[in-house]
Amino acid sequence: MSGSDSAAEDEWFDGSSDESSPFDAPESSAPPPQRITNDPSVFEEPWMRTGNSVMHGRPESPEVPGEADPESSVWDEPGLSLQLSGDIPADGLTWHRWAEQNQARTSLTTSLGVTLLVAICSGLLAILGTLIIQAGGGNAFVLLAIGAPIVEETMKIGLTIWVVEKRPWLFRWRGQILLCGMCSGMVFAAIENVIYLTILIPNPSAAIVTWRWTVCVLLHTGCSSLAALGATRVWSESRRLQRQPQLSDGAAWIVAAMLCHGIYNTAALVLAWAGHTF
């Protein structure tokens, strides 16, 4: 090693080099920043409040999910271990406690009014969904055997499911949910029969009229009632386990309603193609 290299190395070690290091603090005549509060938050550290720092001061505190949103309460987390965290405090907000508070504020008149409204509107929504899917066209067999059963049964029970999942306290008894399902099927069948027998089938025979007002009404009412059993299970399991409603508790019943409807439509199509007149 040459003498000049040795001198440069010594100079680098003792920090006497003219070249500044990128890790050196910038020279400033201003006094170092001082903590102006006893708040232990990291956002109150001096370097977070001076210069061109990205953050200046404490940011606005976000809402605590467990306090502001009952559907995101920390006490309802599936991974929560009460053995480690202890019992839920008396003032701890859970979804079940929130639902009980809303149920206590809901009058019987409101509950019955919602039941009547859901029972009527569900059938009307299903008619709207059926008209939309038929307007789209496509293969007749796929539309009638697969598409129509899925759309109709989903729309007939959809409003009831929404109330069960989002506002379950509006129902006081399981019978209200079953009534909504049965009425939605009856309303849907009645409107569908009027459309078929006055518009789609000109001069229908007495046999067709009888078929539609008996078999078809029973089909729609029965399938809607089957789906309503699923909605009832979602509602009752939520109350029994004191947790948020989960559609998976009753999904099998809703799928069963779709399958029954699809089997009927498929059989009717096959019989019609075979020359059978209803």
> DSSP labels for 143-159?
IIIIIHHHHHHHHHHHH
pLDDT at position 68 over 60: no
Is 203 domain-assigned?
yes
* Measured CA angle at 180 (ends 130, 201), to 5 deg: 35
Is 27 domain-assigned?
no
Is 74 domain-assigned?
no
Is 46 domain-assigned?
no
Q: Tell me the pLDDT band of 95, cut-offs 50, 70 and 90.
A: confident
Is 7 domain-assigned?
no
Is 260 domain-assigned?
yes
DSSP string, 44-96: GSGGGSSTT-S--SPPPPPPPHHHH-GGG-GGG-TT--HHHH-SPPTT---HH
Is 278 domain-assigned?
no
Q: Tell me the pLDDT band of 174, cut-offs 50, 70 and 90.
A: very high
What is the predicted pLDDT for the residue at 202?
86
Average confidence score pLDDT of the chain = 81
What is the predicted pLDDT for the residue at 54?
45
Report how far residue 88's alpha carbon sits from residue 218's, in angstroms, rounded to the nearest whole number: 48
Least-confidence region, from 34-43, 111-120, 167-176: 34-43
Query: Domain span at residue 186?
Result: 96-273
Instruction: Give the three-class secondary structure for 242.
Output: coil
Q: Which of 25-34, 102-111, 195-204 ranks highest by mean pLDDT?
A: 102-111
What is the predicted pLDDT for the residue at 169?
95
Is 224 domain-assigned?
yes
**55 compared with 246, residue with greater pLDDT:** 246
**54 compared with 165, residue with greater pLDDT:** 165
In tens, the pLDDT along 119-166 reads 999 999 999 888 887 776 677 788 888 998 999 999 999 999 999 999
What is the predicted pLDDT for the residue at 98?
87
What is the predicted pLDDT for the residue at 258?
97
In tens, the pLDDT along 7-45 reads 555 554 555 555 556 556 556 566 665 656 666 666 666
In tens, the pLDDT along 213-253 reads 999 999 999 999 999 999 999 999 999 998 899 999 999 99
pLDDT at position 56 over 50: no
What is the predicted pLDDT for the residue at 49?
60
pLDDT at position 111 over 70: yes
Report the domain count for the chain: 1
In percent, the amount of the chain with pLDDT more than 70 equals 66
Report how far residue 213's alpha carbon sits from residue 217's, in angstroms, rounded to the nearest whole number: 6
